Amino acid sequence: MRVLGIDCGGEYTGYGVVDLHPHGKLCCITCGAIKLSSREALPRRLSTIFIQLGEIIAEHHPDQVAIEEVFYALNVKSALKLGQVRGVAMLAAATAGLEVAEYSPLTIKSSVVGYGRAEKQQVQSMVTRLLELTEPPEPMDASDALAIAICHLHTAGTLERQRVAKVIAV
């Protein structure tokens, strides 16, 4: 299974594509961040996110997309902008016919680090280890996006094992 993780943000929107091989090995296909200029109008920034995520999806063919749920914003205006970025990310996935899963920051950190209140550096360090990368992913938004993808792969794997166990039990 191949998952595109997206870490939505007003200045940077991180992305990371992770494969889960049949024997359980995780592999980073690509990661990075879409940098947005605060000097551009919001519609132009949203268009940039939509176009670039569409290009990433077209190039890497993920099976599913995972994003972080909105959990906190400094103010209402920031929350609204973040919601718009998330909407555009969901639209890019839906336009490509992909399902979107959403995870809370607590769930993502618990899945990757084992502790829901882990610091960003701990998440980055664990992502580097889990994906056997030679260097930590940069910027931090890319590392967060990879963590979201890993969280989805772990969750999807658990749900699939439960489904198979249920079928076998019947």
Residues of the chain with pLDDT under 50: none
Residue 19 a catalytic site member: no
* Residue the block writes with tokens 């607590």: 106
The H or E element that residue 36 is part of is none
Which of 40, 63, 69, 141 is labelled catalytic? 141
Which of 19, 59, 68, 135 is labelled catalytic? 68
Residue 141 a catalytic site member: yes
Contact indicator for 123, 109 with CB cutoff of 8 Å: yes
* pLDDT for 79: 82
The H or E element that residue 30 is part of is strand 26-35
Residue 144 a catalytic site member: no
Domains parsed from the chain with CATH numbers: 2-169 (3.30.420.10)
Contact indicator for 102, 67 with CB cutoff of 8 Å: yes
C-alpha span between 151 and 140 (Å, rounded):
16
Token pair of 2 as six digits = 């191949």
pLDDT tens track for 134-163: 999 999 999 999 999 999 999 986 555 555
* pLDDT for 108: 96
* pLDDT for 129: 97
pTM for the model? 0.91
* pLDDT for 157: 61
